[in-house]
Structure 1
């Protein structure tokens, strides 16, 4: 017959066993985390490219209605709220949240003297230039 002491000794895990399990889980997390974060960054870059395409299409619709692209001072907000004058038939984008890139920063809009409009996401790092997911994503409409 087994004593109570023998049963208590077999009832739980040892500290060593628990530490081994924690070590294994930590190693798995250390291996998978960089891969998952890299995939998230690439997904955001692809989302930004699609968002730039949508925004440039909205700019073209705005130009068809208004006869010109929004001025640099009006910016992209002219796609979601009506300017003081003109035949605005918008909104051309769903809401003001559409004016931010997937990293939460505003899209950069510029209209040059030749009437060429550009919409830019500054990428993951939020700075001009860069490589990979930090690279700027630019859409242009003429």
Structure 2
């Protein structure tokens, strides 16, 4: 009865085969494709979240403008009037906003137009691209 030595149960390094270069490249391409797909979904979700944040931010800022108007009897001439008191205005009880609140989630300045197109004033975020118009996350966002 011949017994094999335990070490002889392993193959010699010469008889083992590894992956070919082509197989490694295919696996890397597949992994890369999966990472791109996951990354685009995560990044797309971040932009979608910023759109909702911008909508909420514009509504909050509109409320602060209304509070300014109640205190002073007039609307601010520019958004910076919410941060620092404008000259010749009585009843200013601010600051009503922080300087950082005057920028949208993409760090672009929020546009303030008085009078507005359909209301007393308009607040507008130009979206992710910071340009007028656009669609999806690049679309302009307005207070309602």
Q: Same fold (TM over 0.5)?
A: yes
- Structure having the higher Rg: 2
1:1-142 mapped onto 2 (5 Å cutoff)? 1=7, 6=12, 16=21, 19=25, 22-71=28-77, 75-85=78-88, 86-93=90-97, 95-112=98-115, 116-139=120-143
Deviates more, 1:37-46 or 1:13-22: 13-22
Structure 1 portions without partners, runs of 5+: none
CA distance in 1, matches of 2:27, 2:12: 24
Alignment length (residue pairs): 134
Structure 1 stretches of 4+ moved >3 Å: 13-24
Normalised to the residue count of structure 1, the TM-score between the two structures is 0.78
Larger fraction in helix: 1
CA distance in 2, matches of 1:113, 1:125: 23
1 or 2 for the larger relative contact order (CA 8 Å, sep ≥6)? Answer: 1
In the TM superposition, what is the alpha-carbon distance from 1:101 to its structure 2 partner?
0.4
